[in-house]
Structure 1
Amino acid sequence: MSDLWTSEEIAQATGGAASAPFAVSGVAFDSREVGPGDLFVAMKGETTDGNKFVDKAFGQGAAGAIVNTAVDHPHILVPDSAAALEALGRASRNRMTGKVIGVTGSVGKTGTKEALFLGLDRAAPGEVHRSVKSYNNHVGVPLSLSRMPRGSAYGVFEMGMNHAGELAALTRQVRPHVAIITAIAPAHIEFFGTEAKIAEAKAEIFEGLEPGGTAIIPYDSPHVAALYSKAERHADHILTFGMSPEADIHALETIAAPGGGTLVTAKLPEAELCFTIAAPGDHWVSNALAVLAAVEAVGGDLAAAGLALAEMPGLPGRGERRILPVLGGEALLIDESYNANPLSMAATLKQLGREGADRRIAILGGMRELGDRSAELHSGLADPMAAGQVDFAILVGAEMAPLADALDGAIPYTHVPDTATAIPLIQTEMRAGDAILVKGSNGVGLSRLVAALAKSARDGDTI
């Protein structure tokens, strides 16, 4: 296997000076994630200075570093490590001769990115690269680009934003051949004011499209006309996806599948495809249609993508399902703890209502970055909770006070100040036959509740 980068290539890409020859097999900017053979990019942050962790990185096996102060290890000396990482990402993109897909949206970015990776990798194993975790910002995107192996046939990159102009900068680094917008929702509306402004900012992804590029947009979105108009200015091809028969890629039929997934018959411009989606929920049908549109656009294997969707496991924090031992039997835990906005809350509550359970419990954390619409949008979750047939709710955080008021006794609930308080409460409350949905913005920390319940299950404890 060839090296990811040599010191000569890094120096040329970044304009830096190499202290000695070396080669690396990976790239990291968090010293805790450095492994043998990695390049450690020592960056200065608001609260930390990566240069202080260079010795630690080499102690963990780093082969070289990018630094802005000379060190007693093989390194590339640059004036600005963050700018150097971005330059390295651009160099990686420049040497890539395969097809690149960019993914953004208010909801579904990471799941769609992972499904695309699995779908393409099924037909071209080992030749597909994607951004890991949710590395989708001004640091995560160049890191993900810099990690792309030379000779990759496909690259799939997630891009996020919470201010206008951010996606425009990221998409010009990624330079996708295909750009997807999954959906538009009032996430980060605190910084935009209106959902229309969010759609406008998401549409910046089309600005970086390569010549001959394809824009993929959600037909069922109320903002489809604005997205289409923007796409027309930058894309040579436009594909729409959705449940409407007017969409270029749409579902002809959906049937509930055993285990909670969905059997879908989809119509594409030149074919029909019948496949199963392992992940439950209507929102995953939409994500899958976007995946098929992208696979079609890059000339990939649609049948292989369909098989991958049938085998795709749930992602931690984004729909992973766990069976927990409880007194007298088992309970189902649905982990959606990574993020939340009104659209994704409604979608997952709707799916909770479809679960075959004795009781449906919703542990809901506050939705962040909603600005002056926070109270309205939180109280608006009362109807989706009723539709989800929630039997009992634990509401976590101060943001949930308006929802508690809106429920007005219609659904039994307990409102607690934080996750630490919620953990012993659910451990006492849950029982056999329950389906438990855990969902909230990442900052609420509901992942700690999931981890606590999972640890009890691993330790063989009966809750």
Structure 2
Amino acid sequence: MADLWTSEEIAKATGGSVSAAFAVSGVAFDSREVSDGDLFIAMKGEATDGHRFVDKAFAQGAAGAIVSEAVEYPHVLVADTTRALEALGEASRARMMGKVIGVTGSVGKTGTKEALFQALERSNPGAVHRSVKSYNNHVGVPLSLARMPRGSAFGVFEMGMNHEGELSVLTQMVRPDVAIVTAIAPAHIEFFGTEAAIAQAKAEIFEGLESGGTAIIPYDSPHVETLYAKASAYAERVLTFGLEEGADVRATEAVSASNGGTLVTASLPDAELCFTVAAPGDHWVSNALAVLAAVDAAGGDLAAAGLALAEMPGLPGRGERCILAVEGGQALLIDESYNANPLSMAATLKQLGREEADRRIAVLGAMRELGHLSDDLHAGLAAPLGEGQVDYAILVGEEMAPLASALKGVMAFDHVADAAAATGLLEAEVRAGDAILIKGSNGVGLSRTVAALSARARRKETE
């Protein structure tokens, strides 16, 4: 297997000088994530300095480092390690001869990125690279690029933003051949003021499109015209996807599948495909259509993509489903604890209403970064809770006070201050036959509630 980077290649990309020859098989800037053979990049931040952890990185197996202060280990010395990471990412993109797909959106970008990876990997095993976790910001994107093997046939990169201009910078690094906007929602609206401004900022992803590139946009979005106008300025081809008639890639039929997913017939400009989306919910049908559009545009195998979508499991924090062993039987836990905004809340609550259950419980954490619209948008969750046929809700965080007011006399609920209190209530409440949705912004910490409930259920299984 070829080295990911040699010291000479690193020096050439970054303009640095080599202390001793070395080769690496991976890249990390967090010493806790360093594995044997990795390149450790000693980043300097506001809170800490990576040079303090060089010893630890090499103790864990680092083969070399990028530093701005000379160290006793094999290294490449540069003026600025942050800029060196960016340069290494840019060099990785420059040497990659395959197709690159960029993904952004207010909701669904991580799930879509993972689905794209699975769809392309199915017919190109070992030749597809993607950004891991949610490494989608000014350091995560160049790190993901720098980790891309030189012989990759496809690269899939998630790009995020919460301020105007951020995507413009990231997309110039990624230089996608295909660029996707999944959906527009009032996520981070605190920093933009309006959804229209968010749409404009998300459309920056098209600025980095390679010559002959394809833009993929949501036809069902009220901001489709804004996205289309921006995409048309940079893309050779613009494809729309959605459930409504008129979309270039459209679900002509979508019916519930026996496994809880959806059986879809999709029409593309030059093909028709029948496939199953394993993940439940209309939002996942929409994501799947974006995936098919991108696979087709990148020259991938549509049939293999359809098979991959049928087998794709839920992601922790983003729809993972597990069966809990509880007193008297089982309960379903749906883990959506990683993130939340009004659109994703409504989508997952709608799906909760479709679950076969004796009782439906929603544990909803506060939605962050909503600015002056926060009270109205939280109160507005009352209608989706009704559509989701929720029998009991646990509202977490002070931002949920407007929703608590809206629900008085309407449904059973408790309003608590934090995830710890929510965990205690839920552990006392859950019983056989329940379907439980746990969803909130990551900062609320509901992942700890998921972990506690799962651990309790595992203990009960062994009793």
Aligned to 1:298: 298
SS at match of 1:265: strand
Aligned to 1:360: 360
For 2:366 and 2:196, the matched residues in 1 are separated by 23
> What displacement does 1:363 show?
0.3
For residues 304-326 of structure 1, give each alpha carbon's deviation from its aligned partner in whole angstroms, at most 9, with x where no partner exists. Answer: 00000000000000000011110
* Paired positions, count: 463
For residues 244-271 of structure 1, give each alpha carbon's deviation from its aligned partner in whole angstroms, at most 9, with x where no partner exists. Answer: 1200000010010112100000001111
Give the CA RMSD over aligned residues. 0.9
**8 A contact 2:325–2:458 mirrored in 1:** no
Aligned to 2:341: 341
For residues 368-423 of structure 1, give each alpha carbon's deviation from its aligned partner in whole angstroms, at most 9, with x where no partner exists. Answer: 00000000000000000000000000100111111000112211001010001111
Aligned to 2:28: 28
SS at match of 1:259: coil
For 1:266 and 1:7, the matched residues in 2 are separated by 48
Aligned to 2:418: 418
Aligned to 2:372: 372
Aligned to 1:149: 149
**Which segment drifts farther, 64-73 or 327-336?**
64-73
For 1:456 and 1:408, the matched residues in 2 are separated by 31
Aligned to 2:219: 219
Gaps of 5+ in 2: none
**8 A contact 1:112–1:288 mirrored in 2:** yes
SS at match of 2:148: coil
> What displacement does 1:461 show?
5.2
Question: What amino acid is aligned across from residue 100 of structure 2 in structure 1?
Answer: V
SS at match of 1:202: helix
For 2:299 and 2:459, the matched residues in 1 are separated by 47
Aligned to 1:61: 61
Question: What amino acid is aligned across from residue 138 of structure 1 in structure 2?
Answer: H
> What displacement does 1:114 show?
0.3
Aligned to 1:452: 452
* Counterpart check, 1:247 vs 2:215: no
> What displacement does 1:353 show?
0.2
Give TM-score, length-normalised by structure 2: 0.99
For 1:311 and 1:82, the matched residues in 2 are separated by 39
Question: What amino acid is aligned across from residue 454 of structure 1 in structure 2?
Answer: S
For 1:188 and 1:152, the matched residues in 2 are separated by 34
Aligned to 2:176: 176
**Which segment drifts farther, 63-72 or 128-137?**
63-72
Aligned to 1:429: 429
Question: What amino acid is aligned across from residue 45 of structure 1 in structure 2?
Answer: G
**8 A contact 1:326–1:462 mirrored in 2:** no
For 1:244 and 1:150, the matched residues in 2 are separated by 40
**8 A contact 1:242–1:251 mirrored in 2:** yes
Q: Within 5 A, what are the aligned runs for 1:317-332?
A: 317-332=317-332
> What displacement does 1:72 show?
1.2
* Counterpart check, 1:438 vs 2:438: yes
Gaps of 5+ in 1: none
Q: State the identity as a percent.
A: 76
For 2:143 and 2:290, the matched residues in 1 are separated by 25
For 1:429 and 1:83, the matched residues in 2 are separated by 51
**8 A contact 2:326–2:460 mirrored in 1:** no
**8 A contact 1:325–1:461 mirrored in 2:** yes
Aligned to 2:274: 274
For residues 344-377 of structure 1, give each alpha carbon's deviation from its aligned partner in whole angstroms, at most 9, with x where no partner exists. Answer: 0000000000000000000000000000000000
Counterparts in 2 of 1:295 and 1:88: CA distance versus 1, 3 Å: same
> What displacement does 1:45 show?
1.5
For residues 191-240 of structure 1, give each alpha carbon's deviation from its aligned partner in whole angstroms, at most 9, with x where no partner exists. Answer: 00000000000000000000000000000000001100001100000100
Aligned to 2:91: 91
Aligned to 2:261: 261
For 1:460 and 1:415, the matched residues in 2 are separated by 28
Question: What amino acid is aligned across from residue 394 of structure 1 in structure 2?
Answer: I
For 1:353 and 1:427, the matched residues in 2 are separated by 22
SS at match of 1:69: coil
Aligned to 1:393: 393
* Counterpart check, 1:285 vs 2:285: yes
Give TM-score, length-normalised by structure 1: 0.99
> What displacement does 1:29 show?
0.8
For 2:413 and 2:80, the matched residues in 1 are separated by 51
For 2:109 and 2:126, the matched residues in 1 are separated by 22
Question: What amino acid is aligned across from residue 242 of structure 2 in structure 1?
Answer: G
Question: What amino acid is aligned across from residue 98 of structure 1 in structure 2?
Answer: G
Question: What amino acid is aligned across from residue 47 of structure 1 in structure 2?
Answer: A
> What displacement does 1:459 show?
3.5
> What displacement does 1:462 show?
7.9
Question: What amino acid is aligned across from residue 44 of structure 2 in structure 1?
Answer: K
* Counterpart check, 1:162 vs 2:162: yes
